[in-house]
Amino acid sequence: MELGKLDRSVYLASYFNDELLRRRVNTQLNRQEARHTLARKIFHGQKGELRQKYKEGQEDQLGALGLMTNVCILWNTVYTARALEQIRAEGKKIATADIARLPPLGFEWLNFLGRYDFSLPETVREGNFRPLRIPGQH
């Protein structure tokens, strides 16, 4: 137990001395909080509370939440990559540092409420992506 305290003390000393380490830890904490924010947005029903009485039911709910969170992240990643490809195809330069700051955890453009239509459009059924939206066009 004392050895664990020593390890923690060494880590804290290096944390306070190393600005780069503090920035990396803060970046990771921000990413983790952004993922939790997305999960809370997805899990809006029942006020975000697990309502299953049994551990297996709770695990099912959490598994479904994890799956849907990952689906949103994948959707954002795929369509962000497509948008970047289109910008490059137009001959515009994109800084690598700017791309690194693009978060896959955004959700402002995702519809969490309402009715869902799970029928696939013909374009998607053929294995293609849906077209990208052009800003300013509806």
* pLDDT of residue 89 exceeding 90: yes
> For residue 46, what pLDDT is reported?
62
How many alpha carbons lie under 13 Å from residue 55 in its C-beta half-sphere?
A: 0
* pLDDT of residue 88 exceeding 90: yes
* pLDDT of residue 2 exceeding 80: no
pTM above 0.95, yes or no: no
Name the burial class of residue 102, with classes exposed (0-12), middle (13-18) and buried (19+) by CB atoms within 10 angstroms of its CB.
middle
